[in-house]
Amino acid sequence: MKFSQEWLEYFLDTDAGTADIAARLNAIGIEVEGIADPAERLAGFRVAEVLTAEKHPDADKLQVLSVNTGEAAPVQVVCGAPNARAGMKGVLGLPGAEVPANGMKLKKSAIRGVESNGMMCSVRELELGEEHDGIIELPADAPVGTSFADYRSASPIFDVAITPNRPDCMGVYGIARDLAAAGLGKLKAIEPSIVTASFPCPVEIRTDDSESCPAFYGRVVKGVTNGTSPDWMQRRLIAAGQRPISALVDITNYLMLAFGRPAHAYDLASLSGPVIARRAHEGEQVLALNEKTYTLDPSMTVIADDDGVHDIAGIMGGEHSSVQPGTTDVLLEIAYFDPEAIGVTGRKLGLATDARTRFERGVDPAFLEDGLDILTSLIQRICGGEASEMVRAGSPPNEAKVIAFDHTLTERLGGITVGEAEQKRILEALDFAVSGDWQVTCPLRRHDIEGPADLVEEVVRIHGLDAVESVALPRADGVARPTATPEQKLQRRLRRAAAARGLNEAITWSFLPTDQAEHFVDGQPLWVLDNPISEDMKAMRPSLIPGLLSAAKRNADRGAHSLRLFEVGRRYLRAKDGSSDERATLAVLLAGEKISRGWANGKATTFDAFDAKGEAEALLAEAGAPVSRLQVMGDAGGQFHPGQSGTLRLGPKNVLARFGALHPATLDAFDVDGPVMAVEIYLDAIPVKKGQKKVGGGFAKPDYAPPVLQAVMRDFAFLVPENVAAGDLLRAVRGADKANIVEARVFDVFAGASVPEGRKSIAIEVTLQPVEGSFKEADLKAITDNVVAAAAKLGADLRG
């Protein structure tokens, strides 16, 4: 929310400077996000007088002006404005000045052969409004040579963040009230607006939707002249980021920004019959002020007459009944709408407006009559006209909340000592009524106050949050216990390992579009949110791969040739009985070029399923999984290519990971060009190593004890059937003598002329580790016999 210091000082009698105001706003919980100084943008622009205006010798629509800038000699300026004439006063931009509207830097130049030393400026060029048909015309008494910023009294503009629980500060007057309570000045009373009713209201006003619109007030003003709003009002609206439109529209916007009270003005000539707040009919449509047509349903409240809908209640008015330059009679409407109903309608229609923001957070239900009187008096003062009697349909909430407050609670909860009298002063300055026995009556506008703790917050923030002493928490002597859980430690270790392998970490949303989530759900019920952030974030992810696919697409679309991504996070599963579960998971995605083209390797090479398997095994090893005992099996899921994927398991049922090439149908669903390799490691499925002991809620590795005796190496070459996997042979060899064989690895695979047809040769290096004593020849022979026997079960023969 933006407002000028000049506007704030209209409601707050203070001598505080800009820096002091900003500091106090931050101290009381109204965060200042920025301060802009319009005077800086108007530097180089000066009040000037046109002395002479002669026709340009080489252009029919241009004039050559002689302009007095307050210096000794006048300057020559070429101008195309039709209202430029001798004797008028305007605004001259001198060489070096930057035009706010377009950032153009002015310089001395020749226009059609005539020298021009600056530019006479229009309202739009200085971003003071929308008028651009001519240059600015200043009053005759405007002092020539004065800086235009000084003449216009350009005031600093505050940009503040108002938290959702403080709708009472969605108007400048509410912010002034808080600052006055904090001792930064005195709050000026709202000037009484006395409206004399000249005739009965000629329009029937009623509410047929008392649930969503419990109060609907209005009156008619006849004989108005809808011209431009006065300069002071335009100046304040522009500071707040509002574009001045016309006097009637500007006045309603002024009321909203000054007091947080949205209102609306209808062109009376466009209305037919009674004006009613009611529920919309199914399929009813309205052309809104943003020139878009919205289709409504019965959950939405509208303002309508006999001809149909004129207003999406509390959110946006309609084009048909909006005030026009020629409007002479208006119906003024001010209402109280249920915040929840406004929020539902706004979300359904995707409409975010200033009015919705205020109604959705809760406006002051006690400010209907005063608000309508202020609105009416401003219109009469600026546009003229006669007002009718006020019509009141329904009544707003009027039951004030009373809270029994113990003033000693401030010290206990807030950690700060504030005197009883000061607490009473603060609360009364914020319009709370405090009785002698500390029964506190809350103003109706303070929807956020629910109990004594909220009153403590009001006292502490106004007294000063910076006065709360910083006290260190007590800490026991000795070394602090570790706070990271075993799962957190494992994930940290895996992140470092993945990064060390050249993978880049991605952090993606835990939510997915429903269609993407369904692609990876694998027959389980989908976990769908009842109140999602958006329709594109409605389902909890059953896998981390969809998020990495979306990240890969974004990077590929921006020219990335090689993608190596990983993510550590959770996948969210729902059982058929409705119970839900979260599982720690690590996912890897490899796409694009594995090795770029070059003189040494020729064409670029892409990733394959073996690369995915290598990543899976390396990261599983880092996680402490028994990689040597893992079995490679199929059935990686329908998202993977059936011939280029697999799973890593401990036994037939315990799946630790799946890996391989993603199915072309999966890539099509995510609009990603292939091939793409993926890995998904289920961290919750990794068993705890035997021998680990419990330490501080986690597991500790056993003490490292290097072997005393030297290991022994033995090589075996087997002839095996072609369909036997090398991994199966390795597992058989390792299991032949678990006490002595500590490692086995393949170092050669051969098939050729010297190998019988239908068979292949696999050479394995076996590491034997003696424990109690060195191996004897009989020991080695027994181990060798066991290895050969284990391999024979797979159809393997020891080569001669």
454 is in an annotated binding site: yes
448 is in an annotated binding site: yes
Q: Are strands 654-662 and 275-279 parallel, antiparallel or unpaired?
A: unpaired
Query: Is residue 42 within 8 Å of 152, Cβ to Cβ?
Result: yes
Report residue 37 CA to chain centroid gap: 27
CA gap 67, 93 in Å, rounded: 11
Of 717, 636, 707, which is closest to residue 678 (Cα–Cα)? 636
CA gap 639, 659 in Å, rounded: 11
Tell me if residue 763 falls in helix, strand or coil: strand
Of 610, 608, 609, 606, which is closest to residue 592 (Cα–Cα)? 606
Q: Give how far Cα 142 sits from Cα of 77, 79, 145, 151, Å.
A: 20, 21, 9, 8
CA gap 78, 561 in Å, rounded: 55
What is the sign, positive or negative, of the torsion defined by CA atoms of 657, 661, 665, 666?
positive
546, 548, 551, 552: CA torsion to nearest 10: -100
CA gap 266, 749 in Å, rounded: 88
Query: Is residue 296 within 8 Å of 307, Cβ to Cβ?
Result: no
CA gap 506, 503 in Å, rounded: 9
Q: Which one-letter amino acid corresponds to residue 583?
A: R
Q: Which one-letter amino acid corresponds to residue 295?
A: T
Of 767, 777, 754, 675, which is closest to residue 715 (Cα–Cα)? 767
CA gap 737, 744 in Å, rounded: 11
Residues contacting 96, CB < 8 A, separation 6+? 44, 105, 106, 107
Query: Is residue 392 within 8 Å of 434, Cβ to Cβ?
Result: no
Which tokens is 401 given? 């909340």
Q: Which residue has the tokens 């706070």?
A: 483
797 is in an annotated binding site: no
The DSSP secondary-structure symbol of 381 reads: H
76, 79, 83, 84: CA torsion to nearest 10: 0
CA gap 517, 529 in Å, rounded: 12
Tell me if residue 191 falls in helix, strand or coil: coil
Q: Which residues are annotated as a binding site for Mg(2+)?
A: 448, 454, 457-458
Q: Which residues are annotated as a binding site?
A: 448, 454, 457-458
